[in-house]
């Protein structure tokens, strides 16, 4: 097996690496965190730095037990390295995505040669789901990197070993994945098909050796060690510091946010076939090749080739694991994408030469480019309903022309590429379209929508209306409001759901008690919603600030408080 790339393969690797950096980094530093998750995670990391408490994450004044702290640590370290949240909050996702591509390439190179490794990495990069997540400050890109690293280390041992250090390292990475997001244990599932294949006597697997039992146990010990490095300090503090909030945090993150969330999820309910739709729509154009891959995969199984069957079996196990839960989101199965690309790697070069495959990719390019072009032109000249809705929701004015112009330009580039290369160069045409789309997303959409999406604009306007030194109380707030707040602010607890009227009543009671302490020198920043309809929003006591994230915000002074806003005295207690 030839591991070292030829000069042509080295040039192809450089082109692929340059394309990856260009696509993934486009728009870096041109926006602040956007909902739903980004402001929450950045706020948690920011408060870690400010408070010095790195073990118990907080959202405002309350503990945040929904996720383990590893990703928040990465965000905080990125800020300490860069000195700017705008220039640091996307850095962990960017580095994780590049690391995932490298691991996919390198394992493919070691299994089948450099050209196959390049095809595997290119298949991952071509999937819109991968790039979209990589351009967001969410936990999933880091989780994908850690699961890919775990799978990489374990497969280096199972298929190319014995390599016990890689096995232990892969297990350790899986443990770190668990304290990043609970499902980080997924790489260990590859041991299930491995045991079956070795029991069936398949060749190409690491051989049995007398006395290896302790080495297998050491790998699993490395998995536990990675978790214990977080678990032990947190448990000791929660049990012995006497803080009831810390005990509640421990119960929530160890049970409700893991097993309960999987077995009895309370949101994101989808049918069992949901992830098949995700793969078809958001893993294309790679997903278009799956029908052509079925035959070589069957042949690999018949030939008992574990290099194909193990990563493929693991990807199917991941799909089955998440499909079994009623709660589903499109990014849940993203860790399976690199493994699926690795299972396809030895066949992608040959499939790319087939006319049927190229026609499918050409059709995909024409369809996607046509939709973008038609949508952009329609929005520029006719103001269709979808364009009106986007303009209203995102608070766009005359600058909307840049958005529609970008869509039309990207669609036009895709159609021109399809016409120029046609069937013979369909893969090039598809690549040009996807690169143009992500460049447009980063360099046009990021700065264009940032003021509204990040809530930076509405918080700047609120400070201008209130005055530079007037304390502002946040009522009905979202994480982006506290993150982007300027000057002195106060919050009164966080309500996750708009229809949690009891929570909003408690929050309001605390806010009114705070406001009454200095009625002439304080104001409330209030979200206009049913839970706070008791306020009198009319001038002179109420002043509209603006909209952000499809929500309407007002500044209210003490005169806006009506008798209907009163709450039981006990509700005014602090969080």
Report the relative pairing of strands 523-527 and 472-475 from DSSP bridges.
Answer: parallel
pLDDT of residue 238: 83
Contacts of 99 (CB under 8 A, 6+ apart): 145, 148, 149
Say how far apart CA 146 and CA 172 lie, in whole Å: 10
DSSP state of 444: I
Q: Is the pLDDT of residue 255 over 70?
A: no
Tell the burial category of 52 from Cβ atoms under 10 Å away from its Cβ (0-12, 13-18, 19+). Answer: exposed
CA distance 80 to 76: 6
Residue 47 has pLDDT above 70, yes or no: yes
Longest dimension (CA), the chain: 84
Contact status, residue 97 vs residue 145, Cβ threshold 8 Å: yes
3-class secondary-structure state, position 500: coil
Helix axes 213-240, 164-178, angle to 10 degrees: 30
Tokens linked to 9: 């393969």
CA distance 155 to 308: 11
Q: pLDDT band at residue 573, thresholds of 50, 70 and 90?
A: very low
Report yes or no: 163 and 156 within 8 Å, Cβ to Cβ.
yes
Residue pLDDT, tens place only, 293-334: 999 999 999 999 999 999 999 999 999 999 988 788 888 999
Q: Distance between CA atoms of 503 and 477, rounded to whole angstroms? A: 12
Pairing type for strands 472-475 and 58-59 reads unpaired
Sequence-separated (6 or more) residues with CB below 8 Å from residue 279? 287, 290, 333
Backbone angles phi, psi at 553, to 5 degrees: -125, 145
* Tens-digit pLDDT profile for residues 382-416: 878 888 888 887 778 888 999 999 999 999 999 99
Residue given tokens 């030194």 in the structure block: 469
Secondary structure (DSSP) of 314-354: HHHHHHHHHHTSSB--GGGGTTHHHHHHHHHHHHHHHHTT-
| Residue-level length of the chain | 575
Distance, in Å, from the CA atom of 469 to the CA atom of 481, rounded to the nearest integer, reads: 18
Residue 269 has a pLDDT of: 74
Tell me how far apart the alpha carbons of residues 195 and 310 are, in angstroms, rounded to a whole number: 11
Compute φ and ψ for 203, nearest 5 degrees.
-80, 170
Coil, strand or helix: which one is 561? Answer: coil
H or E, element range at 12: helix 7-25
Q: Please give the angle made by the CA atoms of 98, 103 and 104, to the nearest 5 degrees.
A: 100
> pLDDT class for 570, splitting at 50, 70, 90?
very low
Q: Is 436 a residue whose pLDDT tops 70?
A: yes
CA of residue 514 relative to chain centroid, distance: 37
DSSP 3-state of 89: coil
User: Is the separation of the CB atoms in 433 and 412 below 8 Å?
Assistant: no
Q: CB atoms < 10 A from the CB of 368, how many?
A: 22
pLDDT at 262: 59
| pLDDT for the residue 488 | 94
DSSP string, 205-268: SPPP-TT-HHHHHHHHHHHHHHHHHHHHHHHHHHHHS--HHHHHHHHIIIIIIIIIHHHS-SS-
Q: CA 514 to CA 512: how far, in whole Å?
A: 5
Q: Is the pLDDT of residue 44 over 70?
A: yes
- β-bridge pairing 542-548 and 489-491: unpaired
pLDDT at position 424, please? 93
Alpha helices in 268-335 (DSSP H): 274-282, 290-302, 306-323
| Highest mean pLDDT out of 12-16, 120-124, 267-271 | 120-124
Q: Which residue has the higher pLDDT, 569 or 94?
A: 94
Q: Which residue has the higher pLDDT, 533 or 176?
A: 176
> Is the whole-model pTM more than 0.85?
yes
- The model's confidence at residue 2, banded by pLDDT at 50, 70 and 90, is low
Average pLDDT of 58-82? 92
């Amino acid at each position: 097996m030839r591991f070292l790339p030829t000069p042509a393969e080295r040039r192809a690797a450089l082109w692929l690496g340059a394309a990856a950096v260009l696509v993934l980094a486009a728009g870096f530093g041109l926006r602040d965190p956007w909902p739903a998750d980004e402001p929450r995670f950045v706020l948690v990391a920011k408060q870690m730095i400010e408070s010095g408490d790195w073990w118990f994450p907080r959202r405002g004044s309350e503990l945040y037990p929904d996720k383990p702290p590893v990703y928040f640590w990465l965000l905080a370290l990125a800020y300490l390295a860069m000195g700017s949240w705008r220039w640091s909050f996307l850095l962990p996702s960017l580095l994780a995505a590049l690391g995932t591509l490298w691991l996919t390439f390198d394992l493919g190179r070691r299994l089948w040669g450099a050209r196959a490794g390049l095809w595997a990495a290119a298949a991952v990069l071509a999937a819109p789901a991968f790039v979209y997540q990589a351009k967001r400050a969410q936990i999933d890109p880091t989780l994908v990197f850690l699961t890919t690293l775990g799978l990489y280390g374990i497969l280096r041992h199972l298929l190319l070993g014995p390599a016990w250090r890689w096995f232990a390292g892969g297990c350790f990475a899986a443990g770190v994945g668990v304290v990043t997001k609970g499902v980080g244990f997924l790489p260990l599932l590859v041991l299930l098909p491995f045991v079956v294949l070795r029991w069936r006597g398949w060749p190409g697997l690491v051989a049995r050796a007398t006395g290896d039992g302790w080495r297998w146990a050491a790998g699993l010990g490395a998995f536990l060690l990675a978790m214990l490095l977080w678990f032990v300090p947190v448990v000791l503090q929660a049990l012995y510091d006497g803080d009831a909030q810390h005990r509640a945090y421990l119960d929530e993150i160890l049970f409700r946010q893991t097993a309960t969330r999987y077995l009895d999820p309370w949101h994101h309910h989808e049918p069992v076939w949901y992830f098949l739709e995700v793969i078809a729509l958001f893993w294309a154009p790679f997903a278009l090749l799956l029908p052509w891959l079925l035959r070589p995969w069957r042949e690999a199984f018949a030939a008992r080739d574990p290099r194909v069957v193990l990563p493929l079996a693991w990807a199917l196990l991941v799909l089955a694991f998440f499909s079994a839960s009623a709660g589903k989101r499109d990014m849940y199965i993203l860790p399976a994408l690199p493994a699926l690309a690795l299972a396809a790697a030895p066949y992608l070069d040959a499939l790319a030469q087939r006319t049927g495959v190229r026609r499918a990719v050409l059709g995909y390019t024409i369809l996607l480019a046509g939709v973008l072009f038609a949508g952009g032109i329609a929005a520029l000249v006719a103001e269709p309903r979808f364009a009106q809705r986007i303009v209203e929701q995102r608070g766009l004015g005359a600058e909307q022309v840049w958005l529609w112009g970008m869509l039309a330009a990207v669609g036009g580039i895709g159609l021109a590429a399809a016409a120029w290369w046609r069937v013979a160069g369909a893969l090039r045409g598809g690549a040009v379209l996807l690169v143009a789309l992500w460049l447009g997303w980063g360099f046009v959409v990021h700065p264009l929508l940032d003021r509204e999406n990040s809530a930076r604009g509405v918080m700047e306007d609120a400070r201008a209306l209130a005055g530079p030194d007037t304390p502002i109380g946040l009522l009905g707030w979202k994480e982006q409001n506290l993150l982007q707040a300027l000057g002195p602010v106060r919050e009164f607890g966080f309500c996750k759901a708009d229809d949690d009227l009891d929570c909003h009543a408690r929050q309001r009671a605390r806010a009114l008690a705070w406001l009454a302490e200095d009625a002439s020198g304080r104001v409330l920043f209030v979200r206009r919603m049913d839970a706070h309809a008791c306020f009198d929003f009319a001038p002179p006591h109420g002043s509209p600030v603006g909209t952000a994230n499809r929500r309407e915000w007002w500044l209210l002074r003490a005169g806006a408080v009506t008798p209907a806003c009163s709450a039981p005295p006990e509700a005014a207690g602090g969080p």
